[in-house]
Structure 1
Amino acid sequence: MDDTARQAHYWNTAGATKTFTHPLHGEWLAGLSHDSRILDYGCGYGRVTAELSDLGFTRVRGVDPSPALIARGRASRPDLDFAVVESPPAVDRPAAGIDVVVLFAVLTCVPDDQAQRALVAELRRVLAPDGLIYVSDLLLQSDRRNQRRYAAHAERGGGPYGVFETDDGAVCRHHDIAWLRSLFADFEPVDERRIDVATMNGRPARGVQMLARRR
Structure 2
Amino acid sequence: MKDLGRQIAYWDTVGAEKTFTHPVNLGWLATVSRTARILDYGCGYGRVMAELSDHGFSDVSGVDLSPALIARGRQLHPDLRLAVLESPPYLPYSPTSFDVVLLFAVLTCIPDDDAQRALIAELVRVLAPGGLLYISDMVLQDDERNRGRYATYAQQFGTPYGVFATDDGAMVRHHVIVELHALLPDFDLMDERQTSVVTMNGHPSQAVQLLARKR
TM-score band w.r.t. shorter chain? over 0.9
CA distance in 2, matches of 1:140, 1:206: 8
In structure 1, the residue matched to 2:179 is: 179
Following superposition, the deviation at residue 5 of structure 1 comes to: 5.7
2:21 counterpart residue number: 21
Q: 1:203 to 1:152 in 2, by over 3 A?
A: same
Matches within 5 A, 1:1-215: 6-215=6-215
Deviations 1:63-83 (A, max 9, x none): 100000000000000001000
Deviations 1:185-213 (A, max 9, x none): 22011000000111100101110000000
8 Å CA contact retained: 2:5, 2:88: no
| Alignment gaps of 5+ in structure 2 | none
**What is the TM-score of this pair, normalised by structure 1?**
0.97
Q: Distance in 1 between matches of 2:197 and 2:146?
A: 15
- Secondary structure class of the residue paired with 1:156: helix
Alignment check: 8 A CA contact 2:132 2:213 kept: yes
Whole-angstrom CA distance in 2 between matches of 1:130 and 1:57: 18
Q: Which runs of 5+ in 1 are unaligned?
A: none
After the TM superposition, which parts of structure 1 deviate over 3 Å for at least 4 consecutive aligned residues? 2-6
1:61 CA drift (Å): 0.4
Structure-1 separation of matches of 2:141 and 2:73: 30
Give the partner amino acid of 1:62: G
- The separation in 2 between residues aligned to 1:210 and 1:204, in whole angstroms, is 20
- What is the distance in 2 between the residues matched to 1:175 and 1:5? 20
Question: Displacement of 1:28 after TM fit?
Answer: 0.4
Contact 2:189-2:213 within 8 A present in 1 as well: yes
Question: What is the CA–CA distance in structure 2 between the aligned matches of 1:10 and 1:75, rounded to whole Å?
Answer: 20
Matched AA of 1:182: A
- CA apart distance, 1:6: 4.2
Distance 1:3 1:28 in 2: 31
What is the number of residues matched between the two proteins? 214
- 1:197, 1:10 → 2: CA distance? 22
1:132-167 Cα offsets, whole Å, 9 max, x none, are 000000000010100110111111215100000000
Aligned residues: CA RMSD: 1.1
Q: Deviations over 1:67-105 (max 9, x none)?
A: 000000000000010001100000111001100000000
Report the TM-score when normalising by structure 2: 0.97
* Identity level (%): 62
SS class of match (2:160): coil
Secondary structure of the residue that 1:184 maps to in structure 2?
Answer: coil
Structure 1 counterpart SS, 2:7? helix
Structure-2 change in CA distance of 1:30 and 1:154 (3 Å):
same
